[in-house]
Structure formats: structure tokens, C-alpha cells
Structure 1
Amino acid sequence: MKGALSWPFLRLYVLTLLYFSANAILNVMIPLKGESLGANNTAIGVIMGAYLFTTMFFRPSAGRWIQKYGPMKVLRTILLINAFALMLYSFTGLEGYFAARVLQGICTAFFSMALQLGIIDALPDKDRSQGISMYSLCSYLPGIFGPLLALGMWQNGGPYGFSLAMVAIAVGTGVVGFTAKMDGNKSEARAVPAGQVPMSVAKSFGELFKNPHLFRCSVLMLTASVVFGAVTTFVPLYAEQVKHGSAGVYLMIQAGVIVLSRFFLRKKIPSDGKWHSRYVMGVMLLLTLAAQSVSYSAAAGVAFFYAGATLMGVAQALLYPTLTTYLSFVLPQASRNVLIGLFIATADLGVSMGAILMGPIADLSSYSFMYTVCAILGVSVIGFAYMRNDM
């Protein structure tokens, strides 16, 4: 196989799958553990949100470091820190979980940037969207088995099983990561073209508002990620209010749809550097319908619950690789790594806000109302995806 499905890249996708397996388990275990200890939705949201809130701050710096040292050197260093973070879960309580989530957030900033920027640099333009889509696919694949594995650990009361799972994931990512390679020298640090000065991290924040391409994509990604974060954090608790609803089944359906969509629709994701208004607006509409379907399921039944999982999965599968690929074409080469890091940081911020801000809304009203708020957010930015002349 060649291109995005060649062996060196398949190895990187396996590494991605292993790395994100821990989070798929933790996304279910932490809310359940928190509730059993008497924590309210606000506290659970803060612990869950600390992960990507930390990641958000380190994304732009990660892009700059990767440009300077190359993705593979950065990757191998960060895997050691990640192993330590995972070990913390095996012998600490909620306070330790918060510290571990912060450490994981730092690691994920560098890990995901190293993988994605390495893939972008190593693949030809026509395969770029496929590579990003396959990376994203493997980052969500653990969502199929992770929630069910976590629920099994929780229901059987096996703390040792949870600890062993974290240790096994830490060791597995280390072994695969330290033996992974990319084609040729493309994984090494790239020199900035003559006459161009690398952008500082501080200056990149101004570009978020000055660069229209970056601003449009960031607003869309931020809004969508608020919805994604609210689903990830509170579905394990909300499922108990849906007759015959199961958080494990919901998350498995959503992750399965993401995986299938990203694989079978990977060639449909635009990879031409043009903005496709109708395509992006359609994805945002799917997101809105998904959130409202989940909201309505408490009253209307489990069919709406799982329909929401399906629609959410399709929207999540298409939006991120579409926007990331588009930006990889239109951003200036000298500052591309830092600015893409900033864009991905908006996704992290959105997921964190989905946990941190939606928790109090659920406490003051209900989960169902909170998901209606998510639907309102989605519909409010559909028009923002429109560009009169696609470019």
C-alpha cells in the first residue's frame, strides 16, 4: 500500500489508537467515580475539562517546538511524560486525577501536533486529507471499546483492572512510539523558507482575528467542540434518565460511526484548498440535529438517544479533518505549524467549555435543557460557515 495507508503511517495510526485508549476509558470512569464520591456536575466538569483546557494552552508552543526539533524527537520525549501521568491514575483519588489530567493535557498537545504535522509534511497534497482523516479515525476508534471496558471495570468493582489497563497502555504507547518512523527525512525539523521569520506564539493569538480563514474555522470548531465536550462528559450520567438508555452503547455507536465515516468517506473530504460552504453548513446542521435529538430523548425515548449518537458521529467525523486540511493549504508556510496549533487549541477549549460551562447549566436546570442549549449554539453558527464565493 502507498500514500496514507503505507506501513510507516499505519504504524503511526496504531500508536494513535493506543495513546487515546486511556482517554476513552477515563471519559467514563472519572464521571462515575466522581458521582460515587458525592461530586456535583460542576466539579466533575472541572476535572474532565482540565485535560483539554491545558492542552489548549500548549498547542501553539507545540507547533513551534515541532518545527524546530522535528515531530519524532518531540514525540518520543512526550511519551515518557505521558507514561508517568497514566501511572498516577493507578494509585490516586480525584485530586490526583486532576493533576494527571493536567499532565495528560500537556502530553496530548505535543503528541497530536507531532503526529498531525508529521503526516501533513510527509504526504503529498492529494493524500493530505486522507492522512488527517485516518489519524482522526484512530484517535476515536478507542471510543468503541473503551466505554464498555470502563463500564465493565466499574460494575465489577475491579480497581486493579483499571490500574493494570493504565499501565498496559503506558507501556504499549512507549514501545510503539519509540520504534515508529516516517518516510525519509520528512519527519525531521523543516527549515523556514528564506526571507520568512517563524511566528512567535504570542503573535499567533493576534492572527486568530486577523486571518479570516483561521478565524472562520476556529469559530466553527470552537462551537462544535462545546457540543462534543458536553456529550463526552455528561452522557454517562444522562443515560440513566433515558429509558433503556446505555452510556456505553451511546458512546460505542458514536465512536463506531466516526470510525466508519472517516474511513469510507475519507476521499470525500475536500483536499483542494478551497472552502466548500454547503458542505460545512451541512455538517453543522447534522451537529445541531444530533444535540437536539439527544435532548429530546429523555421524553421521547431511546431511539432519539441513539439517533443523536449516529448524527453526532458523522458530524464529528467530517468537521475536524475538513477544517484542518483546508487550513494546511491556506495558512502561510512559515507560521503554519503555530497557527494550526492555535486552531486545534480552539477545539480543545470548546471541549473544556462543554464540560466546565455546561455542568452548572445542568445543575441549575436539567441535562435535557443543557443539550437544547448545545443545539442552539450549533444552529447559531450555521450561517457563519457560508462564504459567497467558495475559495
Structure 2
Amino acid sequence: MSGAMSWPFLRLYMLVLLYFSANSILNVIIPLQGESLGASNTTIGLIMGAYLFTTMFFRPWAGHIIQKHGPIKLLRIILIINGFALILYTFTGLGGFLVARMLQGVSTAFFSMALQIGIIDALPEKDRSQGISLYSLFSYIPGIIGPILALGIWQGGMDYFTVVMIAIAIFTGLFGYSAKMDKAEAQPVTNNAEQEVSMFKSFSQLVKNPFLFKCSVLMLVASIVFGAITTFIPLYATQLKSGNAGIYLMLQAGTVVFARFALRKKIPSDGKWHSSFIMGTMFILAVAAQCVSFSITGGAIFFYVGAILMGTAQALLYPTLTTYLTFVLPQMNRNVLLGLFIAMADLGVSLGGVIMGPIADLSSYSFMYMICASLGVAMIIFAYDRRKMFVGEYKKNFF
């Protein structure tokens, strides 16, 4: 096999799988443990949201540092911080969970940027979308088994939780310590100080760069929906007559994995904006959220259909927008701007817990997911763009 499926890249994908395996368990354990300790939905949302809010804050700096020093030099430090965070979960309460989530957020900001930048820089343009899609696919594979395992841990006792977290920390650290990248990947993207762009000036590109702005808004709003699902499904499922959070999350993650692999060659990788493709993806997202909302009265069939549709939307949206941006962003500060875009995804997931938690407290989970569906409908309209601007034309006019 060659390209995105060659052995060096498969090894990196396996590291991604190990790294994100803990989150598939924590996404179920933390809400359940928080509720058992008397925490409100708002508090649970804040703890869950702290992870990706911290990731969002550090992600642009991660892109900047990796651009200067290269991705491989940071991996070992990242994995040590992540291991400490996982162990911290095993002997602390809600306060310790908050600290651990923030530590995880810091390490994830650097880990994901290091691997994604390495993949983007090492692959030819025609294979970029496959590489990004496979990276994201392997980050979701743990979600197939993790939720069921988490429910088993919850029912069996938190002693099992301690063993599993320590084991994940050790195995991820050992595997990551021995991971290697090709020489081209290990080198910094640029060592030319004259080509460096101020990070703070790059923040303005979120508004000034029309394509970065459009992609960031779409990713932010969609991620709010994804975050609300991840945070509150374990609690919402307990209100359904026959709904099971583990099965829902397993179906959603399984759909992401299947769709990312099966459709990896269908994701646009030509640097053009495909309005119909993005609008269709946002339509799937809106229908998914509405199915979850309606399941409180419609039953488990709508609950699980919502899981499949939500997984499909997740599988398509992120690699499509990320691949598109690798073509239209200027090479000189592409990594920093990609970091800003991915930070919007992190912010959205975080806000999905922080904003939607109070809405659920004031109304209900069903109404909160109806709000999520409305956000998806708004993004269908926002995704439309009748302009057919090519990469070269955009760079000539804008830069």
C-alpha cells in the first residue's frame, strides 16, 4: 500500500486510536459521575467543555510552534502530560476532573496539530483528503467500543476505571515514544524568519479571509450540536423508555468510521467550494438533531436513526472543510490558520456543553436538541455560495 495507507501513516493512525481511546470512556463516565455527585447540567457541561475550550485556546499556538520546530519533537512531552491527566481522573472528584480536562486539552491541542500537519505536509495534494479523513476515522474508532465499556465500568465499580485509565496512559506513552516520522515530516515547515507571520495578526484572518470565515462558522455551529450530543446523551437516554446511551454512541461512532473509510475518496479534494455537498451535510445534521429531540415521544427508533445521521454528518464535514482550507490558505501561515479553524471546532464542542447545559436545565433535553436542529437549518442557508472562485483567483485578488 502507498500514499495515505502506507505503513508509516498506518502507524500514526494507530497512535491516534490509542490516544483518543480514553475520551470515549470519559465522555460517558464524567456525566454519570457528575450526576451521582449532585452536579447540575450546567456544571457537567462546564467540566466537559473545559477540555476542548482549553484545546481551542492553545491550538493556534500549537500550529505556530510546530511550524517552527516540527511535529516529532513535541510528541513525547505531549504524551507525558496526557498520561498525567488520565491518572489524575482516578483519584480526584469534580474539581480534579476539571483540572484533568484542561491538561488533556493542552496536550490534545499539540498532539492533533502535530499529526495533522505532518500528514498534510507529507502527502501529495490528491491524497490529502484521504489522510485527514483516515486520521479523523481512527480518532473515532474507540467510540465504537468505549461507551459500552464505560457503562460496564460504571456498573462494575470505579476500581476498573482506575485500571483502564492507567493502562491507556502507559500503552499510549510507550507506543508514542517509539513512533517515527519520515525526515520530511520531522523537519520544521519553515525556518525562514522572514516568512513567519505574527500569530496575533493571523487571528484577524478569521474575519478578513472569507473562506476561512465561512468554514469556521460552519464548523463552530456544527460542533455545538456535536458537543451537546456528546455531553448530554448519557443523561438524556435515561429518560427514554428503551434508549441506551452506549448503543447510541456506538452507532454514531461506528457510522463515522464506516463513512470516513467508505467515502474517503468521495470527499472533494480539488480546492473548490462545493455548496451542494456542504448544504447536504448540514441538512443531515439538522435532521439528526431533530430525530434525537423527537425520540422522547417517538421512541428509540428515532433515537438510533439520529445516531446514524449524526455520525454521517460528522464523517463528512470536518475532512471536507479541512481539505478545502489546505488549498486556499496561504502557505506562509497555513498551519497557524488551520490551527484557528480547528480551534473553532473545539470551541463549538465546548459551547455545546456550556451553552446547552443551562438550556436543558431551564427546559428539557428534547427542547435543547430542537434548538440544535434549528442551528443546523440555519447553516444549510449559510453554506450556499453561488460564486465559483478558484484557488488561484482567490489568492491573486486577496493577497
TM bin (shorter chain): over 0.9
SS in 1 for 2:204: helix
Instruction: Assess if the C-alpha contact under 8 Å between 1:76 and 1:177 holds in 2.
Output: yes
Query: Paired residue for 1:180?
Result: 179
SS in 1 for 2:242: coil
Residue 390 (structure 1) shift = 3.3
**% identity of equivalent residues:** 69
Inter-partner Cα distance in structure 1 for 2:170 and 2:93:
22
Deviations 1:42-85 (A, max 9, x none): 00000000000000000100000101110111122211111111
Structure 1 unmatched ranges of 5 or more: none
Query: Paired residue for 1:20?
Result: 20
TM-score, scaled to structure 2: 0.96
SS in 1 for 2:186: coil
Are 2:236 and 1:238 equivalent residues in the alignment?
A: yes
Query: Paired residue for 2:312?
Result: 314
Inter-partner Cα distance in structure 2 for 1:105 and 1:201:
20
Deviations 1:105-158 (A, max 9, x none): 00000000001000000111111100000000011111111111110000112x
Instruction: Assess if the C-alpha contact under 8 Å between 1:89 and 1:96 holds in 2.
Output: yes
Query: Paired residue for 2:203?
Result: 205
2:84 corresponds to which letter in structure 1?
Answer: F
RMSD between aligned residues: 1.0
**Greater displacement, 58-67 / 380-389:** 380-389
Q: Give the one of 351, 355, 358 matched to 1:353.
A: 351
Query: Paired residue for 2:396?
Result: none
Residues 61-100 of structure 1 aligned to structure 2 (within 5 Å): 61-100=61-100
Query: Paired residue for 1:6?
Result: 6
Deviations 1:301-333 (A, max 9, x none): 000000000000000000000000000111001
SS in 2 for 1:84: helix
Instruction: Assess if the C-alpha contact under 8 Å between 2:71 and 2:185 holds in 1.
Output: no
Inter-partner Cα distance in structure 2 for 1:378 and 1:267:
25
Instruction: Assess if the C-alpha contact under 8 Å between 1:121 and 1:187 holds in 2.
Output: no
Residue 182 (structure 1) shift = 2.1
Query: Paired residue for 2:290?
Result: 292
Deviations 1:1-44 (A, max 9, x none): 10001111001000000000111100000000000011110000
Query: Paired residue for 2:214?
Result: 216
Residue 200 (structure 1) shift = 2.1
Deviations 1:215-248 (A, max 9, x none): 0000000000000000000000000112210000
Residues 26-65 of structure 1 aligned to structure 2 (within 5 Å): 26-65=26-65
Query: Paired residue for 2:394?
Result: none
Inter-partner Cα distance in structure 1 for 2:220 and 2:302:
25
Instruction: Assess if the C-alpha contact under 8 Å between 1:134 and 1:262 holds in 2.
Output: yes
Instruction: Assess if the C-alpha contact under 8 Å between 2:60 and 2:337 holds in 1.
Output: yes
Are 2:232 and 1:256 equivalent residues in the alignment?
A: no
2:105 corresponds to which letter in structure 1?
Answer: G
Query: Paired residue for 2:395?
Result: none
Inter-partner Cα distance in structure 1 for 2:234 and 2:149:
13
Inter-partner Cα distance in structure 1 for 2:263 and 2:191:
34
Inter-partner Cα distance in structure 2 for 1:200 and 1:380:
34
Residues 376-391 of structure 1 aligned to structure 2 (within 5 Å): 376-391=374-389
Inter-partner Cα distance in structure 1 for 2:132 and 2:76:
20
Residue 270 (structure 1) shift = 0.8
1:176 corresponds to which letter in structure 2?
Answer: F
Residue 201 (structure 1) shift = 2.1
**Aligned residues between the structures:** 389
Deviations 1:261-283 (A, max 9, x none): 00010000111111111000000
Residues 103-182 of structure 1 aligned to structure 2 (within 5 Å): 103-157=103-157, 159-182=158-181
1:164 corresponds to which letter in structure 2?
Answer: V
TM-score, scaled to structure 1: 0.98
1:86 corresponds to which letter in structure 2?
Answer: L
Instruction: Assess if the C-alpha contact under 8 Å between 2:68 and 2:191 holds in 1.
Output: no
Deviations 1:177-233 (A, max 9, x none): 111122332231122679x63222211211100001100000000000000000000
Instruction: Assess if the C-alpha contact under 8 Å between 1:288 and 1:378 holds in 2.
Output: yes
Residues 272-291 of structure 1 aligned to structure 2 (within 5 Å): 272-291=270-289
Residue 385 (structure 1) shift = 0.9
